[in-house]
């Protein structure tokens, strides 16, 4: 019998819009939204979507991807690679300054890549750990010397993976508590101006930006809109101009697509490859037993999740590697069809017998903050589905700061989350499964504590393989192991949607979405 789904979508009726905390400025001002405030604006420390979208305007990377997935100059004006793929030399843009006036130099690149990002950022750690040395050849030249070829190295240097941080601000300090984490300094087109808690984060135009003619707008306001209803009405009324991925609940997507003043588009997320997941803390029993994780997969009707909870926006995930990404192999995967009877049998086999009230086991589910949208509905459904097989789940709400702290410090039983591929499994996927990324205090990493020596070796071999066929063989075997182990519960592949007022132009400049910032964005008259 399927879980009772009555009431799953309760509370979704439109409510009167609560006035924005601050009057939405118009003119040459871009108004964006955020469903919840971030816990920090330290890009390497909290590499979540909201932080990426804000800090992508402040901090920059050495390279950017064009629409053909080819690297283009950014803070690096050019680079060379030796024929053996072991030495990368980057020549930096001259005349670039940090927002506080300090010159940008090779010292900043070396500090960021060799120290700060390697320590804090799971997405780039794999690449930089493969470096034998990272050194400044002169003030505007940096050499990366690899221990062995790493086929995703260039992809690792994009904005969402490797933002360059100011050495003169962070050196000699505790990176996690530095005041700049709340007043960030970068080289980007916009400068941090103000953080009015509970209301907005304001960025203002960098008049000394090194790229001539940019940015084209004066200010950006990221406004706090905590509920799906507020976010929808804010967009419809023009109180905000743009809604980025996950800002707008899929339940109202058809309504917004019909609005003649609003553009709805997936263009700009081609390189992300995002998967919605449930994570289990495998340091704790019964989550440490793969039979429990397999049983939970059989307890979930993931087709229902996609069709009814996410309103058809996406498709069921079958692998840790999204189907749109390189190296996805549909032939080797272990499937987990909806089968609660099988789930109950597997739990019986484990010895998880029903006790008082028909409950086998009680545990908590930490919900990612989304203001009552699809992630919340997904968690509510998981609780209902679990109850059908004798599991009792307590749902726990959180804000971004507490979610990052608790998951990063392994203080959870189960949670919901998502991750992006960003062009290569060595960047997006591996960080969640390799044992070297089991690091306390680092969210968006292997927080579940999954360990498998063969998986570690296969990820290493795949990322260093010169022959694409050899890499494919390693990744195919990886997919088989990870799906058999249910190293993480893959729920559905997301189809991120951008919504924006027609007065907004050039919102995204590449396939990694708005994480590259709004430096090229411009505004026309009222839509």
What is the location of CATH 3.90.76.10 in the chain? 63-170
The pLDDT of residue 27 is 63
The pLDDT of residue 242 is 93
Total length of the chain? 527
The pLDDT of residue 252 is 79
Residues 6+ apart with CB under 8 A from 173: none
The pLDDT of residue 381 is 96
3-state SS class at 112: helix
The pLDDT of residue 392 is 97
Handedness of CA 315, 378, 414, 246 (dihedral sign): positive
The pLDDT of residue 464 is 86
| pTM assigned to the model | 0.80
The pLDDT of residue 1 is 41
Domain 274-494 has CATH 3.10.105.10: yes
The pLDDT of residue 371 is 63
The pLDDT of residue 526 is 56
The pLDDT of residue 161 is 82
Torsion of CA 211, 216, 220, 225, to 10 degrees: -120
**Domain spanning 63-170: CATH superfamily:** Dipeptide-binding Protein; Domain 1 (3.90.76.10)
What is the location of CATH 3.10.105.10 in the chain? 274-494
The pLDDT of residue 16 is 33
- State how far the Cα of 309 lies from the Cα of 302, in Å rounded to an integer: 10
The pLDDT of residue 320 is 92
Q: For residue 367, give Cα distances in angstroms to 139, 259, 395, 413.
A: 46, 31, 7, 11
Q: What is the mean pLDDT of each run of 10 residues along the chain (527 residues)?
A: 39 35 61 89 84 92 89 95 94 98 98 93 84 97 94 84 94 94 97 96 97 95 89 91 83 84 84 89 97 98 94 90 88 90 97 92 93 85 97 94 92 93 82 91 91 95 88 95 95 88 90 84 79
Specify the fold of 29-40+188-268+496-523: D-Maltodextrin-Binding Protein; domain 2 (3.40.190)
Instruction: Please state whether beta strands 314-316 and 391-396 pair in parallel, antiparallel, or not at all (unpaired).
Output: unpaired
Handedness of CA 14, 18, 22, 25 (dihedral sign): positive
């Amino acid at each position: 019998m399927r879980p009772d789904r009555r009431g799953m979508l309760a509370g979704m009726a439109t409510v009167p819009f609560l006035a924005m905390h601050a009057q939405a400025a118009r003119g040459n001002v871009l108004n964006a939204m955020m469903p919840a405030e971030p816990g920090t604006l330290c890009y390497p420390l909290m590499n979540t979507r909201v932080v990426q979208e804000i800090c992508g305007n402040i901090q920059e990377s050495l390279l950017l991807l064009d629409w053909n997935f080819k690297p283009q100059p950014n803070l690096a004006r050019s680079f060379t690679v030796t024929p053996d793929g072991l030495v990368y030399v980057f020549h930096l843009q001259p005349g670039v300054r940090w927002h506080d006036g300090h010159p940008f130099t090779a010292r900043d690149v070396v500090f960021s890549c060799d120290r700060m990002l390697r320590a804090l950022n799971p997405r780039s750690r794999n690449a930089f750990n493969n470096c034998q040395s990272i050194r400044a050849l002169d003030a505007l030249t940096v050499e990366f010397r690899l221990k062995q070829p790493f086929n995703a190295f260039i992809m690792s240097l994009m904005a969402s993976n490797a933002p360059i941080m100011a050495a003169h601000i962070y050196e000699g300090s505790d990176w996690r508590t530095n005041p700049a984490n709340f007043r960030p300094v970068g080289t980007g087109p916009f400068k941090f101006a103000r953080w009015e808690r509970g209301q907005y984060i304001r960025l203002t135009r960098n008049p000394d930006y090194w790229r001539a003619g940019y940015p084209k707008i004066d200010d950006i306001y990221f406004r706090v809109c905590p509920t799906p209803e507020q976010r929808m009405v804010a967009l419809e009324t023009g109180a905000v101009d743009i809604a980025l991925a996950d800002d707008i609940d899929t339940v109202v997507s058809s309504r917004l697509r019909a609005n003649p003043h609003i553009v709805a588009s997936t263009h700009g997320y081609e390189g992300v490859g995002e998967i919605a997941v449930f994570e289990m803390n495998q340091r704790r029993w019964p989550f440490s037993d793969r039979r429990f994780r397999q049983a939970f997969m059989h307890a979930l009707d993931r087709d229902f999740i996609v069709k009814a909870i996410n309103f058809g926006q996406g498709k069921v995930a079958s692998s840790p590697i999204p189907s749109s990404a390189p190296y996805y192999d549909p032939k080797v995967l272990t499937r987990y069809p909806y089968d609660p009877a099988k789930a109950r049998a597997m739990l019986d086999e484990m010895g998880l017998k029903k006790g008082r009230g028909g409950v086998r086991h009680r545990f908590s589910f930490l919900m990612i903050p989304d203001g009552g949208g699809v992630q919340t509905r997904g968690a509510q459904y998981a609780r209902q589905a679990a109850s059908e097989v004798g599991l009792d789940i307590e749902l726990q709400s959180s804000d971004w700061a507490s979610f990052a702290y608790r998951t990063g410090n392994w203080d959870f039983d189960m949670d919901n989350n998502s991750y992006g591929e960003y062009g290569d499994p060595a960047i997006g996927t591996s960080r969640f499964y390799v044992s070297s990324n089991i690091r306390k205090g680092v969210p968006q990493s292997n927080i579940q504590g999954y360990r498998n020596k063969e998986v570690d070796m296969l990820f290493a071999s795949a990322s260093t393989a010169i022959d694409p066929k050899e890499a494919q063989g390693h990744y195919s075997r990886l997919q088989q192991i990870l799906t058999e182990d249910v190293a993480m519960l893959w729920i559905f592949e997301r189809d991120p949607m951008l919504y924006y007022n027609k007065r907004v132009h050039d919102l995204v400049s590449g396939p990694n979405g708005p994480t590259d910032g709004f430096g090229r964005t411009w505004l026309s008259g009222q839509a």
